[in-house]
Amino acid sequence: MRRPVHRHRHVQRRRIFVGCEGESERGYIAFVSNTLATVHLGVHLDAKVLRPGGGDPLALVQVASAIIDREQRNREPYERKFVILDADKLGMTPARDQQARDLAARIGAALIWQDKAHEALLLRHLVGCGNLRPATTALAEQQLKQRWPEYEKPMSAMALARRLDIEALRRASLAEPDLLAFLNEIGMFPPTP
């Protein structure tokens, strides 16, 4: 009598591209991915650092577009695409800002703006800090370090998880509509019955 062959069933996961302005954002997206794995396993976040981008929104979206094209040539298409970037350079060159938005729309990527910078986004994850809007990147870093002395740039997913959790993501998403849209899209906060 032959033994039944047990095949491991491959779970099809939604493949989602997340272009990251730098290593800090990549660590953050890895933290989001690890946290998401405690909710469900149906999504793979493919985080890619956008180099060289130099903080210029248009340059970052152009790099994201090139990476997406390259990746999709060799693998299945991304179901969704996002680019997480700082808003501190917005308004310096309005025409380039509009070109960045137009290109993102053309490639089907949603922009997750960090107002003003990544440190300000992280600050809004902390209890009682959801409404803080530091005017500059330097102020954001200063205010974050006051409340989180262990913060070092860039932080790994594991280091972020020592201080942040799903409730921190929920707090930040209440103050950050782009982040909320992203977290809802990936199923971080499933609707309660």
Mean pLDDT of the chain: 93
Does any domain span residue 192? Answer: no
pLDDT, tens only, 133-144: 999 999 999 999
Is the pLDDT assigned to residue 34 strictly greater than 70? yes
Q: What angle do CA 31, 106, 68 make, to 5 degrees?
A: 45
State pTM to two decimals.
0.91
CATH value at residue 44 = 3.40.50
Does any domain span residue 152? Answer: yes
Does any domain span residue 3? Answer: no
State residue 3 phi and psi, 5-degree precision.
-75, 140
Q: Calculate the dihedral angle through the C-alpha atoms of 139, 144, 149, 155, rounding to the nearest 10 degrees.
A: -110
Does any domain span residue 7? Answer: no
Q: How far apart, in Å, are the Cα atoms of 136 and each of 66, 70, 83, 87, 96?
A: 30, 35, 21, 10, 21
- Three-state DSSP state, 87: coil
Task: Give the residue-averaged pLDDT of 11-18.
Answer: 87
Does any domain span residue 174? Answer: yes
Does any domain span residue 41? Answer: yes
pLDDT, tens only, 97-119: 999 999 999 999 999 999 999 99
Is the pLDDT assigned to residue 9 strictly greater than 80? no
Q: What is the residue range of 157's domain?
A: 14-185
What pLDDT is recorded for position 190?
Answer: 80
Does any domain span residue 69? Answer: yes
Is the pLDDT assigned to residue 129 strictly greater than 70? yes
Does any domain span residue 163? Answer: yes
Asked whether 83 and 50 are in contact (CB, 8 A), the reply is yes
Domain count for the chain: 1
pLDDT, tens only, 64-94: 999 999 999 989 999 999 999 999 999 999 9
